[in-house]
């Protein structure tokens, strides 16, 4: 498949606007501006584009809700708070292909009649901040941002807003709170951001990868775009693979590529010819899979049928030397640290799960600890304010579901017999 | 107090938002750079310049992991130990920093040259283990490589 999202990233000057234009960039924006906004949304609908942040929500539907709200101005926010452990798919776009994102945002801005956009960039990507700010200033100079884009009187202004180290700000209402200068704690829905978002105005929040699909989508049209990847869930997808594979990294492949092929064909299989033990397919919050369950198409529609989720497409591969009790404990240490503290099941539950997993990991586990973990996580599922708590609970439940003997062995042997 | 350049920078930042409150996070970054950390004086300055109450500025600032609330070393080593880095040896690197430099997580070396912050995923999982030193990414770390990198920071 030709590269769409990671096109030209090997070019050392790929961040420069002239290089982007030379490679055919900034031609979809004038084309989109020549269309009435609702026709742009119609193309996105025909394309079947789903949000790439993790939830897979149909993009055109979100846009239609925001467009239908009579309040102005409207805002477009790019979620560049890429913090899901294992995920590094947006970073190459932000650092190597910033104009693709800017062009995508300007196209989306026109479709929404949004006049202002912000890129909410995680604090841990300082290099990307400078690259994006320089690219934005180049786009203003060439008239692709500003008050009169492509000489057609279309207005769209864009700025970078830097986060400050809070995973929860990847949740869209927490992101909005943070952009408004508050603690990143999620809001209750409804009202949804498409009606009452940032500064109480209709707001669309889309992921970096989602928005970066738009220049190509508009160039070829929704129908041609929909032929790429899974029929249920079209388009290219950036899978980012880490852990024990021969060739970890980012792979732009058709959406719906089989997980086993990603690991064994594209990434060269398990490092050193060792045995596969477990795979987390879509970032740490998604359910872990044992080696016999990896023949699944990696898209938003099919992964739930195979017992997991696509999430961010962040594949973490673990070989036989890894202690899964330790991995589960480390994941819960993360969730406890990142829980925003707003709701009790998440704030307390993540802490208790971490403590119990910690004692099992140290060889101090007690009989009944596994049932206690299942009971606490069962009391969190579906009862937390936002998906962070659900993610934490489901991590524990799925590790135990697939690898219970390893937890039992830890408690019985009072030590780790896998990693020593 | 902010330098004149920082005041001007803050005025420019303010223009990106429809209200002053939204400029709080970027203002705290400017303050952290100016004061070295978010001291009570830093909060007071931000509060006065933006017209945001001190209690709110501090309440918001302390929510976020990347604002520092005690003086830090001249260089911040930010080492990731989340799952992808952990399974490729990040914990060994934490031990190495402790043994070789006396650098504990959350601590600062006696000569104030380095502070160590344990990070929750810095988006470099494909080249794990990874760290940031100040604003610079370093990937595929080993003990020897860390030693070589840290020599560049005085």
Cβ A87–B121 below 8 Å, yes or no? yes
A184 CB neighbours in chain B (<8 A) are: 63-64
Q: Which of A319, A334, A350 is the last residue of a domain?
A: A319
A162 contacts B64? CB cut-off 8 A = no
According to DSSP, residue B108 is labeled B
Residues A310 and A395 in one domain: no
How far apart are alpha carbons A74 and A97 in whole angstroms?
A: 26
Residues A391 and A243 in one domain: no
Q: Note the pLDDT of residue A420.
A: 56
Helix H or strand E encompassing A296: none
Q: What element of type H or E holds A205?
A: strand A203-207
Q: What integer pLDDT is reported at residue B60 of this predicted model?
A: 98
Residue A131 lies in a domain: yes
**Domain B75-150 carries which CATH code?**
3.40.30.10
Side-by-side strand order, sheet with A116-121: A146-149, A154-162, A116-121, A75-80, A203-207
Query: For chain A, which residues score pLDDT lower than 70?
Result: 420
Q: Which of B120, B128, B135, B138 to mutate to test the interface with A (most CBs of A within 10 A)?
A: B120
Closest to A259 (Cα-Cα) out of A323, A316, A331, A321: A316
Q: Which CATH number fits domain B4-63: 1.10.10, 3.40.50, 1.10.150, 1.10.8?
A: 1.10.10
Task: Judge whether A281 lies within some domain.
Answer: yes
Q: What is the pLDDT of residues B71-87, one digit of tens each?
A: 999 999 999 999 999 99
Last residue of a domain, one of A276, A302, A319: A319
Whether residue A84 contacts residue A314, with contact meaning beta carbons closer than 8 Å, is answered with: yes
Q: What is the domain count for chain A?
A: 3
Q: Is B129 annotated as a binding residue?
A: no
Query: What proportion of chain B, given as a percentage, has pLDDT over 70?
Result: 100
Query: How many other C-beta atoms lie within 10 A of the C-beta of residue A264?
Result: 16
- Looking at the fold, whether A330 and A281 belong to one and the same domain comes out as no
Q: What is residue B131's three-state secondary structure? A: strand
Q: Where do the CATH 1.10.10 domains begin and end in chain B?
A: 4-63
Q: Look at residue A83 in the predicted model and tell me its pLDDT.
A: 95
Distance, CA of A330 to CA of A107 (rounded, Å) = 41
Q: How many residues does chain A have?
A: 420
Of all residues in chain B, the one with the smallest CA distance to A322 is B87
Confidence bin at B58 (pLDDT 50/70/90)? very high
Residue B125 annotated as binding site: yes
Lookup: tokens for A321: 């030397």
* A8 in a structural domain: no
Last residue of a domain, one of A204, A225, A246: A225
Same domain for A197 and A48, yes or no, is yes
Q: ipTM of this model?
A: 0.97
Q: How confident is the model at residue B32 (pLDDT cuts 50, 70, 90)?
A: very high
> Are the Cβ atoms of A243 and B127 closer than 8 angstroms?
no
Phi, psi of A26 (to 5 degrees): 60, 30
Q: Where in chain B is the domain with CATH 3.40.30.10?
A: 75-150
Q: Where are the beta strands (DSSP E) in A63-202?
A: 75-80, 116-121, 146-149, 154-162
Sheet-wide strand order for A249-254: A249-254, A236-243, A314-319, A276-280
**In this structure, are A340 and A377 located in the same domain?**
yes
pLDDT at B38: 97
Range of the domain at A293: 236-319
Domain-located, residue A401: yes
What is the C-alpha separation between A335 and A398, in angstroms, rounded? 15
Does an H or E element contain A58, and which? none
Q: What is the pTM of this model?
A: 0.97
Same domain, A36 and A144: yes
**Based on the domain organization, do A312 and A254 belong to the same domain?**
yes
């Amino acid at each position: 498949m030709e590269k769409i999202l990671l096109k030209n990233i090997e070019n050392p000057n790929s961040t420069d606007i002239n290089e982007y234009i030379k490679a055919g960039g900034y031609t979809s924006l004038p084309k989109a501006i020549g269309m009435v906004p609702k026709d742009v949304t119609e193309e996105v609908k025909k394309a079947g584009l789903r949000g790439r942040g993790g939830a897979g929500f149909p993009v055109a539907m979100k846009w239609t809700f925001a467009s239908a709200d009579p309040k102005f101005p409207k805002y477009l926010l790019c979620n560049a708070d890429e913090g899901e452990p294992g995920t590094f798919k947006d970073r190459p776009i932000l650092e190597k292909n910033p104009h693709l994102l800017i062009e995508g945002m300007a196209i989306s801005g026109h479709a929404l009649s949004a006049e202002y956009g912000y890129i909410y960039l995680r604090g841990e990507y300082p290099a990307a901040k400078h690259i994006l700010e320089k690219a934005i200033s180049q786009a203003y100079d060439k008239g692709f941002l500003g008050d009169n884009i492509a000489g057609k009187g279309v207005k769209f202004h864009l700025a970078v807003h830097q986060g400050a180290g809070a995973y929860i700000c990847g949740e869209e209402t927490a992101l909005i709170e943070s952009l408004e200068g508050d603690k990143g704690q999620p809001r209750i829905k409804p009202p949804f951001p498409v009606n009452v978002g940032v500064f109480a105005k209709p707001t669309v929040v889309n992921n970096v990868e989602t928005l970066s699909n738009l220049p190509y989508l508009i160039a070829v049209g929704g129908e041609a775009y929909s032929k790429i990847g899974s029929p249920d869930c079209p388009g290219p997808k950036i899978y980012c693979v880490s852990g024990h594979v021969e060739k970890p990294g980012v792979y732009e492949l058709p959406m719906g590529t089989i997980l086993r092929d990603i690991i064994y064909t594209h990434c060269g299989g398990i490092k050193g010819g060792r045995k596969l033990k477990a795979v987390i397919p879509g970032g740490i919050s998604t359910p872990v899979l044992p080696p016999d369950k990896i023949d699944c198409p990696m898209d938003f529609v099919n992964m739930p049928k195979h017992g997991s989720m696509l999430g961010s497409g962040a594949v973490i591969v673990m070989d036989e030397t890894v202690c899964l009790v330790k991995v589960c404990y480390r994941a819960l240490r993360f969730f406890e640290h990142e829980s925003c503290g707003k709701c009790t099941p998440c704030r307390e539950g993540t802490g208790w799960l971490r403590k119990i997993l910690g004692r099992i990991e140290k060889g101090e586990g007690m009989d009944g600890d596994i049932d206690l973990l299942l009971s606490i996580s069962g009391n969190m599922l579906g009862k937390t304010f936002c998906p962070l708590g659900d993610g934490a609970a489901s991590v524990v439940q799925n590790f135990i579901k697939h690898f219970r003997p390893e937890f039992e062995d830890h408690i019985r042997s009072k030590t780790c017999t896998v990693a020593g | 107090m902010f330098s004149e350049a920082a005041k001007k920078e803050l005025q420019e930042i303010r223009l990106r938002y429809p209200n002053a409150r939204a400029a709080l996070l970027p203002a705290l970054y400017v303050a952290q750079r100016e004061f070295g950390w978010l001291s009570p004086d830093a909060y007071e300055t931000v509060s006065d310049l933006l017209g945001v109450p001190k209690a709110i500025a501090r309440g918001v600032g302390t929510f976020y992991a990347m604002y520092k609330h005690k003086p830090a070393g001249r260089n911040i080593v930010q080492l990731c130990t989340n799952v992808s880095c952990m399974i490729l040896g990040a914990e060994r690197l934490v031990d190495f920093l402790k043994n070789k430099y006396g650098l504990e997580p959350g601590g600062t070396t006696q000569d104030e040259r380095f502070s160590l912050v344990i990070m929750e995923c810095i988006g470099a999982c494909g080249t794990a283990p990874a760290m940031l030193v100040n604003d610079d990414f370093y990937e595929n770390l080993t003990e020897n490589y860390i030693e070589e990198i840290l020599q560049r920071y005085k």
